[in-house]
Structure 1
Amino acid sequence: MFDHVVFGVSDYAAARDFFIKALEPLGVAVVSEGPLGVELCRPNSQSSLCIRRVEEKATHLHLAFTAENRKQVQDFYRAALEAGGKDNGAPGLRPQYHANYYAAFVTGPDGHNIEAVCHEPEA
């Protein structure tokens, strides 16, 4: 649905490091970086996440990333916490959304709610 998402962060270095480490288990990596910020993407994907340097306080967002399986959700959660994120919901089923909604949530450096979600049944 989205081609790219762009948002500003108040501490660029901290946010850059957090997102690179937290999203690595999902196959996301830096595709370009310049004076405005960094662009992250999965290989062969048309969708990207762009993190920009801004002076003002960033507006809180909820960003949900697709995981191919439940292990990727667990790996994302572990990597995000190790990268400095704060727990906002450990990996697990969220049946209030649907029977196979398996997700984990962390709060990132600017207070953004970052989620990894798998919609597939357990293998």
Structure 2
Amino acid sequence: MFTHIMVGSNDVDKSKQFYDAALGALGVPEGQAFRPGSAFYSHNGGAFGVGTPANGEEACYANGGTIGFQAETKEQVDAFHAAGLANGGSDEGAPGKRPQAPGNAYGAYLRDPDGNKICSFCQLPEGA
């Protein structure tokens, strides 16, 4: 469906620290430099980048936008949330079951250091 997702940052080093920790909890390898002022993450055929805007203007977050990262387990969702909070992120929805989401969803939401809204979700076994 997509080739990659990219979000802007005004402090790429701080953002890389945040994403290395939060995405690392999901099994995603550490981000790699793509061009000066950016880091890219590749995992299971998907790519995610964070970097300074190419036009040289201030980065800002998308109002209403959310980027979701897949987790295999509830424990990974919990670790994603904790790692993000410990590395400059802010809580946007604590880990827990999400009855409004399809299936038996368990997820957590964060804001990265620049205000971008991200989440991680997994599907729990029936009855869990």
Same fold (TM over 0.5): yes
Deviations 1:60-95 (A, max 9, x none): 241110001111001111111111111111110010
1:93–1:99 Cα contact (<8 Å) kept: no
1:3–1:46 Cα contact (<8 Å) kept: no
Instruction: Please say which of residues 71-80 and 57-66 is displaced more in the overlay.
Output: 57-66
Structure 1 residue runs of 5 or longer lacking an equivalent are none
| Paired AA for residue 76 in structure 2 | Q
Partners of 1:112 and 1:4 in 2: CA distance? 16
- TM-score with structure 1 setting the length: 0.87
Partners of 1:62 and 1:51 in 2: CA distance? 14
1:105–1:113 Cα contact (<8 Å) kept: yes
Partners of 1:112 and 1:121 in 2: CA distance? 30
Partners of 1:50 and 1:57 in 2: CA distance? 13
Partners of 1:46 and 1:109 in 2: CA distance? 26
Instruction: Please say which of residues 2-11 and 85-94 is displaced more in the overlay.
Output: 2-11
Instruction: Please say which of residues 31-40 and 15-24 is displaced more in the overlay.
Output: 31-40
Cα RMSD of the aligned pairs, angstroms, is 1.8
Residues 1-123 of structure 1 mapped to structure 2, 5 A cutoff: 1-30=1-30, 32-33=32-33, 34-42=35-43, 45-54=44-53, 55-60=57-62, 61-121=65-125
User: Post-superposition shift, 1:119?
Assistant: 2.0
| Paired AA for residue 17 in structure 1 | Q
Structure 2 residue runs of 5 or longer lacking an equivalent are none
User: Post-superposition shift, 1:99?
Assistant: 4.3
Instruction: Please say which of residues 53-62 and 98-107 is displaced more in the overlay.
Output: 53-62
2:16–2:31 Cα contact (<8 Å) kept: no
- TM-score with structure 2 setting the length: 0.84
| Paired AA for residue 61 in structure 2 | T
Among all aligned residue pairs of Structure 1 and Structure 2, give the percentage whose two residues are the same amino acid: 36
Say which SS state the counterpart of residue 90 (structure 1) adopts.
strand
